Amino acid sequence: MAASDIIKLLPDSVANQIAAGEVIQRPASVVKELVENAIDAGATAVSIIIKDAGRTLIQVIDNGSGMSPTDARMAFERHATSKIAAADDLYSLHTMGFRGEALASIAAVAQVELRTMRQGESIGCRIEVAGSKMENQEPCACVPGTNMMVKNLFAYQPARRKFLKKDTVELGHIVHEFERLALVNTNVDFTLIHNDVTLHKLLSGSLRQRIGELFGKSMEKQIIPLATETSIVRISGYVGLPQFAKRRGSHQYFFVNGRNMRHPYFHRAVMSCFEPLIAGDMQPSYFINLEVAPERIDVNIHPQKHEIKFEDEQAIWQILVAAIKEALGKTNAAGAIDFNVENAPEIPAFNPDFHAKAVLDVDDSYNPFDNVTKRQNEMHSGNAGGKSPSSVDWDSLSGNFRRERSASLEEVRSALNIMEQAQETVRQLGLDEISETEPSRQSDAGGEGISGSYITVANRYIATPVREGMMLIDRHRAHVRVLYERIMSCIADGAIATQRMIFPETVNLSASEDIILSSICDSLERLGFDIAPLGDNIWAINGMPSALSSSSPAETLTDIISRVAQTGELPDTDLFATIASAMARNAAVTASNHLTESETDILVADLFKTSSPNYTPDGQPIVITIGIDEISRLLNQ
């Protein structure tokens, strides 16, 4: 007997909840969809009222065109939209929304109340929808425009509600989404209220003014204008000056045709312009708007419409790079060479008949290889009574040049060659890397014998031979692990000391960063920070943990805020671990820091005393071993 048919059409309520999972991921997604609908309706003023980070209420009020009772009811149906009528309309979009999924998705997971009235009419309508079911529709008195209230978000998806982070994290996401919307719609007045506290009240104006209102007036002085126009793209906006680049907390925004987007390819274009001007771990701020013919982009490739494909991507890359370099060049951001410097040496004209003269003290009987031969013999004879083979004094190779006389260019080259040959001979014999005072020791990371002789590569890696082959250690990550365990040990002992700053430093935060810092302020005080709010998202740093006295206070604080925002809801112990990790990463050595041989020895020794020398606190590898077989394979492939 044949089995019955098993494929069935899903009910609308289930289909709507599935669609909601893609479109509505958290309260910030609701804010984005409702505000974009208000902008599409021609609103010039939008108010956003939030309760309990969006769990209890998200209300968006606008003065747009409003809706008729029939349109208001149809708006909650799936794929009902006024933005497009045919597939070809997708390539000539001038609105934020176009799929007709947002309101249906929101109504599927929450309780929604809509009040709306068209401009010029005297009576509006009120609609109530819950779990995709229309519960009520009636006439009502209201002001022109639309008032949308979303209550008890994810009430009909309890599993999704459990995955929401704590209020400070979700509110941070809402504020960040608000910033993105406010930056791209500078001709609209915006108000953001959370739990009866006004977080933002923005008036329409220029992009530069909006940036200053959102991120502090000091931000206006840290950016330079960007403007270029071609037949392919029109680029406008601002880029940050290199000296104000940050490790974390930089503001990076791309807009295209009035729409927010993320574009890693164009981000790399921006970063390529700053590579010669800032350190590799720094990030510049930028606010870049691209205007492209709608038919040359595709916005229908992501449920939340954050990603966009460009038909002329490579050409726009080149235009963008040229525009940024031109803007940086106009402001001398890369610096300039000033030849009119007092006491600068005079550069003589070229004379082909001139022979250079050098003053050298030369002892003709001196042989720089005598010391090498003597040290080699001492090594073979046990070095009894001799000095450490690693104590090769390169100054002694030229210390016997006593008599002044004029030397020809060839004689200078000959002397330099002798010294280079001496250094190469010692390197080949390994005399400058072996120390009898550093015996071989065993590693806790797998039992390899570490020789105690280290080579620093590019000021980033430490290389040393082991029985299995060659061990490589990431110097920065090793220091992060060491500092992290020290900080956590101090936290456990309650022994973190605060070092007061002679001149307190201030840090300007965005509204979302201010909210997070307020929530972790008590934890930071237990870690040795002394900070105080000054108002308008400005904080004073009066003291730092003594372990971080050499770090930048503002960078350390913004790094901690960024990491806490990424981790979400954490118990206190995990929060301390997150903050300790951020503190360690900010204070650890970088490629710009030079370590002496003894400091390198101490760092490696301290690393292998830690509980987990192979990995950083966030799981990045610190130590790798390249085996003999792998080395042979690489050399003979």
Q: For the segment 435-466, what is each residue's pLDDT rounded down to a tens digit?
A: 333 333 444 433 344 445 688 888 889 988 88
Per-residue pLDDT reduced to its tens digit, 74-129: 888 876 666 555 555 555 555 655 556 788 888 888 999 999 999 889 899 999 99
Check the CA dihedral 101-106-112-115 and report its sign. negative
The helix-helix angle for 264-274 and 313-330 (nearest 10°) equals 30
Please report, rounded to a whole number, the percentage of residues in the chain having pLDDT higher than 70: 71
CB 107 within 8 A of CB 132: yes
- Residue 222 vs residues 209, 228, 286, 287: alpha-carbon distances, Å: 13, 20, 10, 12
Residue 430, pLDDT > 70, answer no
Query: In this predicted structure, which of 34-38, 177-181, 446-450, 505-509 has the lowest mean pLDDT?
Result: 446-450
- Residue 321 vs residues 20, 228, 318, 437, 603: alpha-carbon distances, Å: 39, 11, 5, 54, 41
Q: Residues 25-29: what's their mean pLDDT?
A: 89
What integer best gives the mean pLDDT of the chain? 77
Closest CA to 617 of 472, 445, 484: 484
Collapse the DSSP code of 283 into the 3-class scheme (helix H, G, I; strand E, B; otherwise coil) and give the result: strand
Q: Residues 286-293: what's their mean pLDDT?
A: 93
493 compared with 351, residue with greater pLDDT: 493
What is the edge-to-edge ordering of all strands in the sheet holding 538-545? 498-508, 538-545, 530-535
CB 289 within 8 A of CB 211: no
- Encoded tokens for 585: 């990463």
Eight-class DSSP state of 246: B
Residue 59, pLDDT > 90, answer yes
Residue pointed to by tokens 């997150």: 578
Decide: residue 538, CB within 10 A, 0-12 exposed, 13-18 middle, 19+ buried.
middle
358 compared with 63, residue with greater pLDDT: 63
Eight-class DSSP state of 451: -
Cα–Cα distance between 392 and 77 in angstroms, integer?
Answer: 83
Confidence of residue 179 (pLDDT cuts 50, 70, 90): very high
CB 306 within 8 A of CB 262: yes
Cα–Cα distance between 143 and 117 in angstroms, integer?
Answer: 7
Cα–Cα distance between 262 and 267 in angstroms, integer?
Answer: 9
Specify the pLDDT at position 403.
Answer: 36
Domains with residue ranges and CATH for the chain: 12-202 (3.30.565.10), 207-330 (3.30.230.10), 363-376+395-436 (no CATH), 448-637 (3.30.1370.100)
Collapse the DSSP code of 259 into the 3-class scheme (helix H, G, I; strand E, B; otherwise coil) and give the result: strand
CB 451 within 8 A of CB 468: no
